[in-house]
C-alpha cells in the first residue's frame, strides 16, 4: 500500500487534489527534478544594476555575475520605469554579451567588395574621420541667398532607439559643432 501511495504522490494531479496546494501553483506542480535545480541567481557572486540597452524605454536590469561572467539578467524591481519587468528583448539581452555569434571586431566592406574584412579599430576611426571631414567640406554652405548660414548639408545624423539621453545629447553637440543641421532620432517612445 505504501508503494501505491508513493506512486500516487508522484502524480501532480493527486498532490493538487489531496494536498495543501489546490490551485497547483506550488508544491503540487514541482517534480524531483525541479527540487534539485538551483537558480543561477541564487549562486551568483554579485548583482550589478544596469539598464537595458535595447530601446529608449530604459528598463532597469539586475545583472547576476559569477566568476566575473554574466550568468543571468532579470528585471530590477527597484526601477521606477519598469518595476521589475522586461520585454522579451530585454529578457534575452544576456545573449548580447555571451552569444558566440557576437561581433567583436570592426567589419568593413570596401566599395564594390563582396566580402567583409576585419579592420583594426584605429584604422577604422581614421577612415571615418577622413570621410566626415571630406563630407563636411564638400557640403559646406556659407550663404543661403543673402543670408549667412555657415552650415554643411553634407552630414546628417539619424540616431537609433538604443541610444540613451546622454548619448543623444553628445551627438547633438558634436554634429551641431560640425555645422550639421539635419540631426534626428527615430525613437518616439
Ligand atoms: S527592449 Fe524591452 S526591456 Fe529593454 S528597455 Fe525596451 S521595453 Fe525595456
Atom of ligand 1 nearest to the CA of 91: 3
Q: Is the pLDDT of residue 2 over 70?
A: no
- Angle made by CA atoms 103, 108, 113, in degrees to the nearest 5: 130
Residue 41 lies in a domain: no
* 27 vs 127, residue with greater confidence: 127
Q: Is the pLDDT of residue 96 over 90?
A: no
Report how far residue 105's alpha carbon sits from residue 101's, in angstroms, rounded to the nearest whole number: 12
How many structural domains comprise the chain? 4
86 Cβ below 6 A of ligand 1: yes
Same domain, 154 and 182: yes
* 78 vs 9, residue with greater confidence: 78
- Atom 2 in ligand 1: residue holding the nearest Cα: 87
Q: What's the confidence (pLDDT) of residue 131?
A: 97
With b meaning 16 or more CB within 10 Å and e meaning fewer, what string describes 142-180? eeeeeeeeebbbbbebebeeebeeeebeeebeebeebbb
Same domain, 116 and 79: no
75 Cβ below 6 A of ligand 1: no
What CATH number did the domain enclosing 88 receive?
3.30.200.210
Cα 9 to Cα 13, 20, 155, distances in angstroms? 9, 13, 71
pLDDT band of residue 156 (cuts 50, 70, 90) is very high
Q: Which residue is listed with cell 555569434?
A: 101
Interval between CA 162 and ligand 1 midpoint (Å): 9
Whole-model pTM: value is 0.66
Q: What's the confidence (pLDDT) of residue 77?
A: 97
- Atom 8 in ligand 1: residue holding the nearest Cα: 59
pLDDT band of residue 188 (cuts 50, 70, 90) is low
Report how far residue 188's alpha carbon sits from residue 14's, in angstroms, rounded to the nearest whole number: 52
Its domain, for residue 151, covers: 139-189
Q: Tens digit of pLDDT for each residue in 136-147?
A: 999 999 999 999
Q: What's the confidence (pLDDT) of residue 72?
A: 96
Residue 25 lies in a domain: yes
Interval between CA 89 and ligand 1 midpoint (Å): 6
Best residue among 51, 75, 85, 87 to mutate for probing ligand 1, ranked by most atoms within 8 Å of CB: 87
Residue 51 lies in a domain: yes
Half-sphere exposure (Cβ direction) of 178: Cα atoms closer than 13 Å: 23
The answer to whether residues 107 and 118 touch, using CB atoms and an 8 Å cutoff, is yes
Amino acid at each position: 500500500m505504501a508503494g501505491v501511495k508513493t506512486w500516487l504522490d508522484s502524480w501532480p494531479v493527486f498532490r493538487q487534489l489531496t494536498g495543501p496546494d489546490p490551485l497547483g501553483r506550488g508544491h503540487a506542480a514541482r517534480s524531483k527534478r525541479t527540487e534539485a535545480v538551483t537558480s543561477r541567481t541564487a549562486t551568483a557572486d554579485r548583482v550589478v544594476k544596469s539598464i537595458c540597452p535595447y530601446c529608449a524605454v530604459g528598463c532597469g536590469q539586475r545583472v547576476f555575475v559569477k566568476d566575473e561572467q554574466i550568468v543571468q539578467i532579470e528585471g530590477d524591481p527597484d526601477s521606477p520605469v519598469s518595476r521589475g519587468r522586461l520585454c522579451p528583448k530585454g529578457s534575452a539581452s544576456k545573449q548580447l554579451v555571451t552569444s558566440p555569434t557576437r561581433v567583436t571586431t570592426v567589419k568593413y566592406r570596401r566599395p564594390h567588395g563582396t566580402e567583409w574584412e576585419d579592420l583594426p579599430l584605429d584604422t577604422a576611426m581614421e577612415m571615418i574621420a577622413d570621410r566626415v571631414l571630406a563630407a563636411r567640406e564638400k557640403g559646406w554652405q556659407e550663404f543661403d541667398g543673402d543670408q549667412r548660414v555657415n552650415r554643411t548639408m553634407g552630414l546628417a545624423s539619424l540616431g537609433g532607439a538604443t541610444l540613451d539621453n546622454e548619448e543623444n545629447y553628445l551627438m547633438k553637440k558634436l554634429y551641431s559643432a560640425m555645422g550639421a543641421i539635419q540631426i534626428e532620432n527615430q525613437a518616439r517612445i
